[in-house]
Each structure stands twice: as C-alpha cells, then as structure tokens.
Chain A
C-alpha cells in the first residue's frame, strides 16, 4: 500500500543503460506535478541487476542530484522501479464457502479468501514484491466486487511477484545509500503497462513488452486485471553483441550500426547495398552490408519476441488479447518492430505512446517506466482505503520519521 500525500517523491529506475529519476510533487494524494528530471548513464548494472554497488550508487546519486537541482526541492522518499532476471511470479488461488446462512458474501468472507490466496510460502531467500489480485469468482461467475452478492462458493486468485532478497536489497540500498527512504517498489512491467494502456485496453486484454538494454519485461492484462508478469534476460545489448560478432566489429560501432540501420524485419533485397559506419570518409571507416545488419537485428528481435511468447505459455490466448501488443523501451525504437510483433503474436502491435498529459521532453520511451511508476503509485493511493483524501501524517509520525531518518 502506498503511503504519501503532499510530498516530494522521486520515481527512480536503475536500468542497464541509464538511471532515470523524475521528481514529482503529490498534492492531496491524487494530483501529480512533475518538477524535475535527472538522467545518468548506468554503471555497475547488468541485466537490470546491480553487480557493482559502488558504481551503481554513484550514478544513481548523479541522477538524483541532477533531478533535485532541476526541481529545486529535496526528494523525501523514492518509489523505485524493480526489474531483473531474478524476478519471478506464480499464481495461487483459494476458495471459501460463504459463511452466512442466507449466502450473502460479507467483507469477512472476502478478507478470508484473499488471505488464503496470498498464503503460499516462498522459497528460501525470496521476497514478495507484489500481490496482484485477479477477479473474484462467485459460484463460477466473475464479479468485480462480491460483497452483498449471493452465492455459495467464493474464489480468488493472486499473481504473486517475488524476487531474490539480496538483489532487491541491493536495489533498495542504492537509494538508501543517499539517505533517502524507499517507500514503494513497483515492477517495471506494471509501470509500463499502467502508463501505456488505457483501462479499456486492459479490459479487452493487452500485452505490454518493454525491451530494455539488458532485459525484457512483459505484462499481460485480461479483464482489467494483471494475468501474468515476467522478465526475459535478453535485451538490446544482445542484438548489439550479435552484430559485433557477425560483422566483426567492436561493441560500440556495432551499437551505432544497430541504431542507424537495424530493423526488426528485413527490408533490403540487394546484397550489394552497403552502408558506411561513419560516412565521413575518416580513417578506419568501413562499409557493411545493410542486408546482413537487417538480418541479424531481425533474427534477434524475432527470437526475443518468440521467447516472450513461449514464456507466456498457455496464458496467452490471442482471442483474449483484444487490445493487441504494446511495445516500449529503447529497443522498441527499431523500425518495423510492430510488424515483427504482429507476426510473432498474431495480433496488432503498436509502439507505446505516453498519454497526452505527458510533456514533450518526457515522451521518449526511456521515461515510460518512471512515469509509469508515478501513475501506478498514484492509482494505488487512490484505490487504498481513504483514497486521495488520506489524512496527512500526524505530528508524532513526522517526528518519528525524523528520528528514524537520522
């Protein structure tokens, strides 16, 4: 449950390629005003996981400092995006017999079935990130809120997202190392899904895939609820790596070639069509076959999407994903990636676009996760008991916070 109102919050994503920080001012628990932005190149992070704490902490500090300077305010707490190959999820459901004599479902029945469904134990060293509820079913029929309905058997299922405790700790400590409290963790795929899809999309069913540099995360919605989330430890750097091997060039020029000439589907027919690496006729500049570049990037992108489809397994039923596929992340900028996704999933695909209220400078897919973190957090605030009109923290709780924070 999120817990803030009228405060300066920082939404942070510590990614493989960059650390992005947005500073937002949340007024009265429901209105968000983005007042600062900070981006720094990421170091010490591979496939979304911190492998060098000091380096990761340093670049996070740079991004935080930049964002605070631009915002002209100090971040009081952080909502942190969580990603990485260590994240996993499972589905657990429970059912109870309705207790009352007249078969009317009470709040106690609902609380009981929810507790049972969340009770499943985790393996050693794992920690819970999210418990995402699927719709209630009362005697087999789906009901959004079963309270006061009549029925005999109440069922509910939870998609429980968990991660390796040490890796989650590392992520948190990269923030608390700057003496800022992490008050929320939000799964990066959920953040993307919340920002880039509408409630209507989610009701019809939609698959959101975020392809980052080191990792790809996805979320599948059905009937307005999260059906499944997951990560694939493959991202844009694998395409670069394959280009580097295939074209026999170092990583940096391979990355340039991917960004300039890479495509998710092969378009070039001629083997003689060649492209210059630099094009300025400088020493060391050389030509590469465009077809080869396109073939490598298309093959890897197709493979990546196939892996996602495979991981979705039987949960993915194209007929129940009316909203299609939404692609985001840096690698989603590859030309023709929509067509590639359409071929793989058999569904219309589109690049995710930030809602109209997002400023032009923040519309780049690299900010979709941090923006989504804010959106997800705000939604959770509004849906929590008391919603946006939650009371301000008491004087005593503020005092306690000051003491704890020192």
Chain B
C-alpha cells in the first residue's frame, strides 16, 4: 500500500526537552520513572519468589508437604517386576517408617536402597496419591554361577548377570540355577557389601546365550566356563561332561564355532574310542583334537608328531 504524500502530524516528535517542560510535566515524568522502577522491582520480586519456591521444592521436600494432601502410606501399589522378587522382599528392603506420608518420602534414597541389591537393575517409584507407593522393578537375569566365600569364610553360591554384576540370587528358581555353568578363572574383588562386576562377562554371556539358543544339547553338558585366558589370548575355555576342554575364540563368530563343535562331536561319536581330551576351536576351520588315549599305531609310526596334528588327521 502506498503512503500518502506529505507527513502527517503524527510524525511530529512529541518529546520536549526537560528544560522546556513545566513543573507538572517534570512531576509526571518522575512519577513515570517511579512507575517503571516499581514495575522493575515487581518483576525482580516475582522472579525471586519463583526461584525461592523452585529451590524449596527441589531441596526441602518437607516444606511443601503441607501443600499436598497425602495420608500415611498403606502399601505398594502397583507393584510390578519382570523377575522373581516379591512385594514382601521389597517392603523389607525399603522399610517405610510408620505413618510416613507420600510427600515425606525421599524417593531417591528408597531407590538407592533397592539398587544396592545386585539383582535389581532398575527401579521406578511413583507417588500414587493419597496413600500408595508405586514400585516397578527391572531384575537382572543370571547367566552363570560363581562359588565364593562369604564374610565368615563359608562357601556361598552367587549368580552372575550378563553385565558382569555378581549378586546373591533371591527367590531364584533352583532347578533353573542348576543348569547354569560355573565361572572359573576369575578374581572376585570386594566392593562395599558386594563385588566388582566381572570384566569380559558380556563376551561370555554372548557365547552362553548363543549356545543356549542354537545348540541347547551342547550347552546342557557345560559345567564350567573359564575366563582365565580371555584377557590375554581372547579364548574362553569350557569344560563339559563329554569333553574336558573346549576352547572358543572371541575373534570368531560363536555360532560358527559351535557348529564346528557339533560336527566334531558327531564325528567323535562314530569313532571306536570317542574319548577326546581337548577341542580347540580357536584356529578357524581347522579344529585340532586331543584324544584321551592316542592310538598305539599312530604313536609308533610318527613318534614326533604333535597331538594336535594327530587330531587333525583324525578328522
């Protein structure tokens, strides 16, 4: 839109120099400044008030308790877990004070109390007004067992999760636990009331999970899994009921190694004397075997040949 030519009176500057201003004008101007000052002060006070409320909310929870109606907590509801822990156990751990109201509870501290147990991987606590505390727990799943001595020196069976956390299994299913292999070749280091997580458990749990899923008939016979050579050689040693030593390499795909082991086991069963001492799966497609008792004719023909070469020939 075009503008009208020639300026309008509205474009005339209305400001007047203070010297040309009347006494009333100066008085009005001061009042204007006062208004602005009061407005600024109001804004500052409002901001300060908001800051104080937020600070009180975040730091002093009891200060705002009275603002919310809440009765003494009378139970955990809803209680949800993806594992085996029971509501009674959780109640025992968090140990709510009598007549405690929802707003007086320090949910952070309660959460830390539950997380101190290795079996608990994650916790969400919610206030369900007026008087219920909601608990949702995620539990760790054991992948192996480990034998350790407790504080008094008595032997104690602990569980190891996929992330290497060692914990005392609470309300665990004993028949299921008996299927888990024991860990060997590890050093349990105490940290507080528990132990430090075991390094390399992610690789071991990968092997165990693959075996459990893809070759359950092999996994069932596994008794001990040793991590002794894992750090230096990248090898996991498994002791099963049928073969005393099976060596897996972390560098190769576990599924492929398991399939080779399966093939070896099948071939071994067809031998007249199936007793094998060692199966080494760390060399790729070549799988050296060490028989318990080498055939006497082979020993006579090639007395200098290594056990491994013999095993390869046998295949």
B246 to chain A, nearest CB (A): 77
Contact A58 B2 (CB under 8 A): no
Q: A181-B14, A402-B32 are in contact. Are A168 and B9 (CB under 8 A)?
A: yes
Whether the Cβ atoms of B15 and A176 lie closer than 8 Å is yes
A177-B16, A177-B20 known; A403 and B8 CB under 8 Å?
no
| Selected A-B contacts with CB under 8 Å, 12 pairs | A58-B22, A61-B22, A65-B24, A111-B1, A127-B11, A129-B9, A163-B9, A172-B12, A177-B22, A180-B25, A185-B9, A402-B32
What chain B residues lie within 8 Å of A168 (beta carbons)?
9, 12
Find out whether the CB atom of A177 lies under 8 angstroms from the CB atom of B21: yes
Cβ-defined partner of A128 (8 Å) among B4, B27, B28: B4
Q: Is the CB of B29 within 8 A of A179?
A: yes
- Assess whether B32 is in contact with A57, with CB atoms less than 8 Å apart: no
Query: What residues of B have a CB within 8 angstroms of the CB of A126 in the complex?
Result: 6
* Other-chain residue from B9, B16, B23 in contact with A176 (beta carbon distance below 8 A): B16
Interfacial residues of chain A within 8-66, with CB under 8 A of chain B in the complex: 53, 57-58, 61, 64-65
Residues of chain B at the chain A interface (Cβ within 8 Å): 1-2, 4-9, 11-16, 20-29, 32-33, 35-36, 39
A-B pairs with lowest CB-CB distance, top 10: A122-B6, A179-B28, A406-B32, A121-B5, A179-B25, A118-B4, A178-B25, A176-B14, A61-B22, A128-B8
Shortest Cβ gap from A83 to chain B (Å): 14
Nearest residue in B to A127 (C-beta to C-beta)? Answer: B9
Closest Cβ neighbor of B39 among chain A residues? A402
Whether A222 sits at the interface, judged by CB under 8 Å, is no
CB distance from B38 to the nearest CB of A (A): 10
Does any Cβ of B come within 8 Å of A383's Cβ? no
> Do A115 and B2 contact each other (CB < 8 Å), given the known contacts A58-B22, A177-B25, A406-B32?
yes
B39 neighbours in A (Cβ, 8 Å): 399, 402
Q: In the bound complex, do residue A178 and residue B12 qualify as a contact, i.e. CB atoms below 8 Å apart?
A: no
Contact A405 B32 (CB under 8 A): yes
Complex partner residue of B28 from A118, A122, A165, A180, CB under 8 angstroms: A180
A287-340 residues with Cβ-Cβ distance < 8 A to B are none
Task: Indicate which residue in B2, B12, B29 contacts A406 across the interface (CB closer than 8 Å).
Answer: B29
Kindly state the separation between the CA atoms of A177 and B2 in the bound complex, as whole angstroms: 34
A178 near B22: Cβ-Cβ < 8 Å: yes
Given that A111-B1, A402-B36 are contacting pairs, would A178 and B21 also be in contact in the complex, using a CB cutoff of 8 Å?
yes
The interface residues of chain B lying within 8 Å CB-to-CB of A403 are 36
Q: Whole-angstrom distance from the CB of A8 to the nearest CB of chain B?
A: 13
Asked if B1 and A127 sit within 8 Å, CB to CB, the answer is no
16 more A-B contacts (CB under 8 A) besides A127-B6, A178-B25? A61-B24, A121-B6, A128-B6, A128-B8, A129-B9, A131-B4, A165-B7, A165-B12, A169-B13, A172-B12, A176-B14, A179-B32, A181-B14, A402-B35, A405-B32, A406-B33
Residue of A nearest to B22 (CB): A61
- The chain A residue sitting closest to B20, CB to CB, is A177
Contacts of A115 in B (CB 8 A): 1-2, 4
Shortest Cβ gap from A355 to chain B (Å)? 28
CA distance A118 to B13 in the complex (A): 23
Q: Which residues of A contact B15 (CB under 8 A)?
A: 176
| A contact residues around B7 at 8 Å (CB) | 122, 127-128, 165
Q: Indicate whether A133 reaches chain B with its CB closer than 8 angstroms.
A: no
**A173 at the binding interface (Cβ < 8 Å):** yes
Contacts of A129 in B (CB 8 A): 9
Shortest CB distance B44–A (Å): 15
Interface residue A219 (Cβ < 8 Å from any Cβ of B): no
Q: In the bound complex, do residue A182 and residue B14 qualify as a contact, i.e. CB atoms below 8 Å apart?
A: yes
Instruction: Please state if B2 and A119 are interface contacts (CB–CB under 8 Å).
Output: yes
Of A169, A172, A173, A179, most B-chain CB atoms within 10 Å: A179
Does A120 lie within 8 Å of B5, measured CB to CB?
Answer: yes
Interface check A258, CB cutoff 8 A: no
Given A168-B12, A176-B15, A402-B39 in contact, is the A57-B5 Cβ separation under 8 Å?
no
A residues 95-150 with Cβ under 8 Å of B?
A: 111, 115, 118-122, 126-129, 131
Give the distance in Å from the alpha carbon of A126 to the alpha carbon of B21 in the complex.
25
Do residues B32 and A122 form an inter-chain contact, with CB atoms below 8 A? no
Q: Please, which residues of chain A bring their CB within 8 A of the CB of B25?
A: 61, 176-180
Complex formed: what's the CA distance from A37 to B147 in Å?
102
Instruction: List A contacts of B12 (CB < 8 A).
Output: 127, 165, 168-169, 172
- Which residue of chain B has the shortest Cβ distance to A185 in the bound complex? B9
CA distance A115 to B7 in the complex (A): 14
In the complex, which residues 337-358 of chain A have their Cβ closer than 8 Å to any Cβ of chain B?
none
Among B2, B6, B8, B28, find the residue whose CB has the most chain A CB atoms closer than 10 A.
B6
Candidates A128, A173, A177, A179; contact of B9 at CB < 8 Å: A128
Give min CB distance, B86 to chain A, whole Å.
58
Residues of B within 8 A of A127 (CB): 6-9, 11-12
B8 to chain A: closest residue by CB = A128
Residues in B neighbouring A57, C-beta threshold 8 A: 20, 22
A162 CB-CB contact with B under 8 Å: yes
Q: Report how far A168 CA is from B15 CA in the complex, Å.
A: 14
Chain A residue at minimum C-beta to C-beta distance from B26: A179
> CA–CA, A119 to B5, complex, Å?
5
